[in-house]
């Protein structure tokens, strides 16, 4: 599937930033320390409202440490290095991106899937062996890609590999290796133990082969947030590709910092988006409607006993409209009052 010579593996890394530029700078710094890789890093600022793009560019010019506190055992991974980050205009995307670090800014929050697709639009997939989709709230071990590529070499049918995710704040604790999926309720759960089979892999760190990416083409933009990684893996498996987690490929993950912050600020909206994504996934992958309704009723009941009546009302509306087409549940891109 890919060449096996001693040249550095050529990859493109796509990172979505939304208001969390401090995490993004630490993520970038760790990527610059990867071994045996020829890496084109593309940061997509997804309609941030806090001048994230400018702050990332200015940070790179200053050659300073990322403004993020991490455990002492991880500090060596984000020591400052000389770097250049080039801006890319959406109106004038170069035909070819050379090895380096680039930043492009969307005037609106496209959601996670469409944000990744915007990054994909700036590269030629055929130019790379692998495409790495990486959360911005991560710090990567220097051998992460090397180990993932070794796993690919050992199984030519692999299409997607995830890293073993460790807790960023407690670096010796495994966060997850893969994920399981309940095909009746549409619910998901994390798997910490090493397994031979995973239903899907976390989108926090997905290395996708050129062959797989060319086949599945893109992330499904109908998923604004949540279930997009499950959909990507399910589509890859339907096309005959295997998926797995690489035990020796280590990424330290804060765990959905953007989503968790959205929950704090607009908990009702974020909760509803997650449930909408469950419904969209169920419709696209032919899950039983009765199971999804039952899962929504359980969520409705839990909100009622917790006296979260606004959330309960929104869930009830989803149940009432369960037979609407997928377009009814799709979250539209969010225009921001401030652009970078």
Domains and CATH numbers, the chain: 9-258 (3.90.550.10), 264-335 (no CATH)
Residues 179-226: tens digit of each pLDDT: 999 999 999 999 999 888 999 999 999 999 999 999 999 999 999 999
Dump pLDDT digits (tens) for 124-159.
Answer: 999 999 999 999 999 999 999 999 999 999 998 999
DSSP string, 73-128: GGGGGG------EEEE-TTS--S---SEEEEEEESEE--HHHHHHHHHTTS-GGG-
Residues 6+ apart with CB under 8 A from 295: 185, 186, 187, 278
Instruction: Give yes or no for a contact between 18 and 48, defined as CB atoms under 8 angstroms apart.
Output: yes
pTM above 0.85, yes or no: yes
Quickly list DSSP for 200-236.
B--TTEEEEEHHHHHHH-S--TT-SSSSHHHHHHHHH
- Report the pLDDT value the prediction gives residue 232, as an integer from 0 to 100: 98
The phi and psi torsions of 78 (rounded to 5 degrees) equal -125, 25
Count of beta carbons in the 10 Å neighbourhood of residue 327: 8
What is the pLDDT averaged over residues 234-256?
94
Taking the CA atoms of residue 67, residue 104, residue 220 and residue 10 in that order, the dihedral angle to the nearest 10 degrees is: -80
pLDDT of 185 = 97
**Phi/psi at 36 (nearest 5 deg)?**
55, 45
| Rounded CA separation 307/291 (Å) | 24
């Amino acid at each position: 599937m890919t060449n096996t010579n001693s040249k550095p593996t050529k990859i493109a890394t796509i990172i979505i930033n939304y208001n969390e530029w401090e995490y993004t700078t630490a993520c970038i710094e760790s990527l610059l320390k990867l071994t045996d890789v020829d890496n084109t890093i593309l940061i997509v600022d997804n309609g941030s409202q806090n001048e994230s793009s400018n702050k990332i560019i200015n940070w790179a010019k200053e050659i300073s440490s990322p403004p993020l506190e991490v455990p002492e055992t991880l500090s060596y991974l984000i020591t400052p290095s000389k770097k250049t980050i080039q801006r890319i205009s959406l109106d004038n995307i170069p035909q070819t991106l050379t090895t380096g670090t680039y930043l492009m800014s969307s005037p609106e929050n496209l959601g996670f899937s469409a944000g990744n697709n915007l990054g994909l639009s700036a590269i030629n997939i055929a130019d790379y062996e692998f495409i790495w989709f990486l959360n911005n709230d991560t710090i990567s071990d220097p051998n992460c890609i090397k180990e993932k590529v070794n796993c690919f070499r050992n199984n030519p049918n692999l299409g997607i590999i995830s890293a073993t995710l460790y807790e960023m704040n407690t670096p010796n604790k495994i966060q997850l290796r893969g994920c399981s999926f309940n095909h009746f309720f549409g619910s998901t759960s994390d798997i910490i133990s090493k397994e031979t089979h995973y239903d899907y892999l976390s989108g926090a760190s997905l290395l996708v082969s050129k062959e797989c990416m060319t086949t599945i083409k893109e992330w499904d933009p109908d998923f604004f947030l949540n279930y997009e990684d499950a959909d990507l893996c399910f589509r890859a498996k339907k096309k005959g590709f295997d998926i797995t987690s690489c035990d020796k490929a280590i990424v330290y993950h804060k765990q959905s910092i953007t989503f968790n912050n959205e929950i704090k600020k607009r908990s009702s909206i974020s909760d509803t988006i997650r449930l909408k994504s469950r419904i969209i996934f169920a419709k696209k992958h032919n899950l039983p409607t009765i199971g999804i309704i039952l899962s929504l009723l359980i969520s409705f009941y839990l909100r009622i006993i917790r006296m979260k009546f606004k959330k309960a009302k929104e869930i009830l509306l989803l149940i009432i409209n369960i037979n609407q087409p997928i377009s009814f549940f799709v979250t539209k891109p969010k225009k921001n009052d401030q652009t970078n």
